[in-house]
Each structure stands twice: as structure tokens, then as C-alpha cells.
A and B are shown apart, each in its own frame.
Chain A
């Protein structure tokens, strides 16, 4: 046990320690040198929370510009410096591959042990306690929330239910002005389960978490994954496929960089009604000054990443 009674964790040659303010990661680099890296513990726990909740997501989940994971859908790479241009060139990076269940189990134990009572890594910084200090209990209810995934559409019989006060989903402080009315639905007898509509904006106004997409409607492998965003996306997401963003209200500013090196490529300033794609060659991190509604639109085809790797599907969204 470390001095602050937080557990020490190991995955392959990677060792993880936390103290009152920081997470310290060490590994032995490809050239044999011992290397270390330090992250703010709040930033680390917010990123760790998403990586676990999203099942390691599509492609890269960079905790910062040094450390992260790369999903191979069955196994996961864990790396230090492997997608940092300078560290990779210096040969001081390390990448190890693990079965998904192995890395998930260690990450879940780490999140459980390192998250103190009163700190919710899914919450906006203004809506939770401090991640810092000596070990102090746990916050299992907050870190074991199930991801909300509709099979066809939110609100249909037998599908993901609407969010309500009674279900523990009050309207968020930043969306107090979002209308809560439901659409008029007039179904003829026998069609009650097919004639369907719901208030997506009201549904989102009641999200209790940030930067955590849910599925709200599905067309084959086309997934509408709206989410509410506030402060900074806790990870830098590296794409293994084109990803589309539709800004439904307020604004988010995105920093985009090369996914292999971190070299800056562009900034994307998105306001209500704007649509933009993140090319498959980029990594991106968003900044949302006020809680906003973002529709993340994903092609969840299990073949897509391999089609891109083989050059059968482009890295850019469209050519014109």
C-alpha cells in the first residue's frame, strides 16, 4: 500500500500509484530506460471513468498527450508515449496489449479504490466534490452507472425509458429554461407502440453526467449518441473512423491534432445548428463553456475500422 493508503496497481510493466494530488505512472521504455509520467488525479479519474464506461470506445482514449488506451475490440493496447511524436522518436515509449477483460478489471479496481466519497468523475467540476486528499471512502453509486442505450428509440415500450424526476433525473441547473413539453402523439388503436415521439432536448436537459453519450435512436448501425457537455472533454479521443458532431445548442470549441503524433491540425468552433466531422486521422478534445447539447453521430459497423485500415473506406468524411 502507498503512504496515503491508496492501492498500487500493475498492468504488465506499467505501475500506477496515486497520492493526494497526482497519479504517477511508470514503465520501462522500449530502449530499456525507466520512464515516468504524472497526471492530475482529477483529470486521470475523469478519463478513467469514460474509458471504463465506454468499453474503451472507438479507437484511442488519450488521458493526455502521453498516456492512454487503443481499442482493438477484444484486446486493448495500453501505452505511454507511443502516440507522442517526440517520445516515440526518442524511443522512450511503451505499448503493451492486454485482453479487454484483464485491463477492464484492473481499471475498475483502480477507479473504485482511488475515487473518494463525494467525488463524481462523471459530473461537471461545479457539481461535485474534490478528487484530492487522502483516501476517504468510495463513491460506488456514481462510478457504476450503467450506460443508457436505446435499442430502437427512447421512450418506446420495452426500450430505454424517458428521464423524469421520479427516476432521479431532475432538470440540470444549466438547462432550467429548456421546455419540458412532450410532442403531441395521436395513435389510432393498435398503433400505440409504433406512433412515437419524444422530447430529445428535455431528455438531455435531465442528464446527470457530462461527456457520456447515450444511444437515443438507431437505424441499422447508425447510432444517435447525444450527450451533454460542460467544461473539458476528459479524454483526447483519437478516431479509428470518421465521427460526426451536430451541435444542438450553445457551443463547443474543439482542438484537433494528428492522432499519431499530437501535432496540431485545426480548431473547430461549433455553435447551435453547426455540423462538423472529425476525420479518422485526427484526435480531438472539446471545451464547452456552458453545459451544451451535442449529438455525436456514430457509424457503429463492426467492419468499418477494418475497412479504413485496408483503405476501403476513406479517412475523410466526404470529398468535394
Chain B
């Protein structure tokens, strides 16, 4: 007999947020948020941190239209939680890569990327793409989607914990 399990994913259009029930603790210490709620309130490609551990972050990006071109001195990974997102990749010329190889986080590419075209990827929900170190990448989404980025905190990262987290 089939049990007919239904796997429940969320989306921008349809998500149900959980919560923290305090017994004796401060609910702020659990930094509770929801990626779809964050993306619903974000401008396209704002990099909103919703997880941080020292230099490391997980960011929520609302994918909508074309993003700026980005690069990074280390690998990053993009997980698609909703929608369809293309990622264009270029191997950047040395003159456009991040000069400080230890620099953390995403950096905006100045001008159009120069270098060899590496290819492109199309992500749907549940797909994860690699953004290799020292490449240039651009996200393209015909309709709003949600990305979660595994990276380090950088100059483009945004923190707005008071707005995104349960406080009481």
C-alpha cells in the first residue's frame, strides 16, 4: 500500500514559517528567520545574511532580472530554493580578479568581465551550482526566485537581523 508521502517545499508564493517557543531563553539567540520571507522583502540580488559564523555566512538573494557581475577570491556555492536561475560564468583576466587572494566575500566586477567564457548553468529548485574562485558570474532570472549563497562575509553582504529575525 502506498503511503503517498508529500514532500513540502516552500516558495515565494507559498511558505509557512515556524517559530521559536521560549521556555526560559531569549528567542533572539536562535536568530530565527525564513529565506522566502527575506527574499519577499528584498530588492533583487541584495545579499542578506541569514546565517553567520565568524567569517562565514549564508546569504539569501532574491533572484530577479540580471544581477551585476560578481567575482570572489574563493569558491562560492548557490542553492536555488525557488524559481529558475541561470548563471553565466567567465574565467576572469588576471587584471580583474581580486588582488588580495585572502580577501573574503563577493566582490563586484568593475565593468564588463574580460576573459574566456566558461559556460552557463541553469538551476531549478534544489539545484546547487558552483561559483569557482576568480571567475566572474552573473545571475539571470526571468521571474522572481530565491538563492541561498554559501560564501564568506564581504563588502556586499547586508545584515538586517532586527528585520528578519523573530524577536519575541
Contact = CB atoms under 8 A, between A and B. Distances in A.
A190 to B, nearest CB: 8
Contacts, number: 241
B124 A183 contact: yes
A316 interface: yes
Interface in A198-213: 198-202
B67 to A, nearest CB: 17
Interface stretch (A23-31, A105-113, A128-136, A245-253): A245-253
B142 interface: no
A272 interface: yes
B41 interface: no
B21 A267 contact: yes
A187 B62 CA distance: 25
A71 B87 CA distance: 41
A233 to B, nearest CB: 17
Interface string A300-320: 010010000000010011111
B127 A174 contact: no
Given A175-B5, A177-B5, A274-B34, A265 B18 contact: no
Question: How many of chain A's residues touch chain B, expressed as a range?
Answer: 35 or more
Contacts of B21: 266-269
Nearest to A241: B53
A42 interface: no
Interface stretch (A6-14, A61-69, A78-86, A217-225): A217-225
Interface in B86-125: 87, 89, 91, 116-125
Given A195-B119, A313-B54, A266 B25 contact: yes
Contacts of B76: 219
Candidate in B19, B31, B125 with the most chain A CB atoms within 10 angstroms: B31
A299 interface: yes
A270 B53 contact: no
B168 interface: no
A145 interface: no
Interface string A225-252: 0000000000000000110101111110
Contact of A184 (B55, B79, B89, B122): B122
A177 B125 CA distance: 13
Interface of A: 152-153, 156, 173-179, 181-188, 190-191, 194-202, 216-222, 224, 241-242, 244, 246-251, 256, 263-279, 282, 290-291, 297-299, 301, 304, 313, 316-320
Given A187-B118, A195-B120, A317-B31, 9 more contacts: A195-B89, A199-B128, A265-B25, A271-B34, A273-B10, A273-B34, A273-B36, A275-B50, A318-B161
29 contacts: A153-B128, A173-B3, A174-B3, A182-B127, A183-B123, A184-B122, A188-B119, A191-B118, A191-B119, A194-B91, A201-B126, A201-B127, A202-B126, A217-B130, A218-B75, A219-B77, A220-B55, A222-B150, A244-B58, A246-B148, A256-B30, A263-B24, A266-B22, A266-B27, A268-B21, A273-B15, A290-B7, A299-B54, A318-B52
Interface of B: 3, 5-10, 15-25, 27-37, 50-56, 58, 74-77, 79, 81, 87, 89, 91, 116-130, 132, 135, 148, 150-152, 159, 161-162, 165, 167
List 5 tightest A-B contacts by C-beta distance, closest first: A201-B126, A320-B161, A273-B10, A272-B10, A184-B122
